[in-house]
Amino acid sequence: MTKYFIIIVVILAGVVILYSKGDKNMEKKNFNDLSEMEKWVIEKKGTEKPYSGKFNDFNQSGFYTCKKCDAKLYKSDSKFNSGCGWPSFDDEIKGAVKRITDKDGRRLEIVCANCGGHLGHIFSGEGFTAKNSRHCVNSISLNFSPLAEVNITTQKAYFAGGCFWGIEYHFEKLDGVQSANSGYMGGRTLNPTYEDICYKDTGHLEVVEVVYDPARVGYETLAKLFFEIHNPTQANGQGPDIGSQYLSAVFYNTDEEKNTTLNLIATLEKVGYKIATKLMYKNNFPFYKAEDYHQNYYQKTGKQPYCHKYTKRF
């Protein structure tokens, strides 16, 4: 009886081992094949050279996914340019990233929560964005998945052209625009107030965040209206409002928006306009919504813009 019991146990153990091996093999097949360099970074926790990765200077809309298992890790709107030489994000998709303290106890490693693949390290307290966090990620650990147009409901565009009351007033009248919000962008301090940007030289501009339906109005139409409702040639402010907070600027989200704006500027300059408008990458500068009394100012007061009027230029 003991002999038969031992034989049965051995057989069952063999089945368990075979099943376990088969299960591990199945698990392996779920992961993408990696090159030797990718294995060195993702599986052996190496680091690619700074400024060498394909996503360091990359500004398209979509999702950044794990090179090893395709799990979604970061949204494009969390990416910003830190100047460190590697892609930087100030937040991950909830639950996508796991934090592990390095053996030396000095740094905090980040890995894919799904497969454990090495991504890079996370740093805080640097003040790059309002979230005060920097995920420093190897490009080689990532893939990119463009945002399908069918999933897009609304988009946001950011324009500065003098007092935000007038810019907001004109954009809210455009068909396809759902809302226009006055706020601050482009400065050096977190959570600025109106008093801060007026009296403390924070470097912020008065900016309007335009929320629009891309199925009804395109970015080019928005940008054209922007150049036609303020004087883009004035370099020291707008109308009687003089100062750095009133400068003309476009904060672009993507390379497509940047190129659209540059093409419009080139068109205007061909007919004699000397454009003073600056272009800045939006992800480097968080948008801070202005105080409630600044929102819909002309609608609340019944007044008309004093330094913004429509002038056809295209």
Q: Is residue 24 part of a domain?
A: no
Which pLDDT tens digit goes with each residue over 91-142? 999 899 999 998 888 899 999 999 999 999 999 999 888 889 999 999 999 9
Task: Determine the 3-state secondary structure of 30 from DSSP.
Answer: coil
Domain boundary among 124, 146, 168: 146
pLDDT over 70 at 41, yes or no: yes
Is the domain of 134 the same as that of 235?
A: no
How much is the pTM? 0.58
List C-alpha distances in Å: 53 to 3, 66, 184. Answer: 62, 15, 32
> Could you tell me if 65 and 87 lie in one domain?
yes
Residue 271: domain span? 153-301
User: Would residue 103 count as lying in a domain?
Assistant: yes
What value, to the nearest 5°, has the Cα angle with vertex 129 and ends 123 and 131?
Answer: 70
User: Which residues are identified as catalytic?
Assistant: 136, 163
Q: Do 187 and 283 belong together in one domain?
A: yes
Among 121, 146, 171, identify where a domain stops: 146
What residues contact 8, with CB distance under 8 A and at least 6 apart? none
Per-residue model confidence as pLDDT tens digits over 163-177 = 999 999 999 999 889
* Residue 141 belongs to some domain of the structure: yes
Asked if the structure places residue 28 within a domain, the reply is no
| The pLDDT of residue 23 is above 90 | no
- Do 267 and 221 sit in the same domain of this protein? yes
- 158 and 266 together in one domain: yes
Write the pLDDT tens digit of every residue in 43-82. 999 999 999 999 999 988 889 999 999 999 999 989 998 9
Q: What per-residue confidence (pLDDT) applies to 20?
A: 44
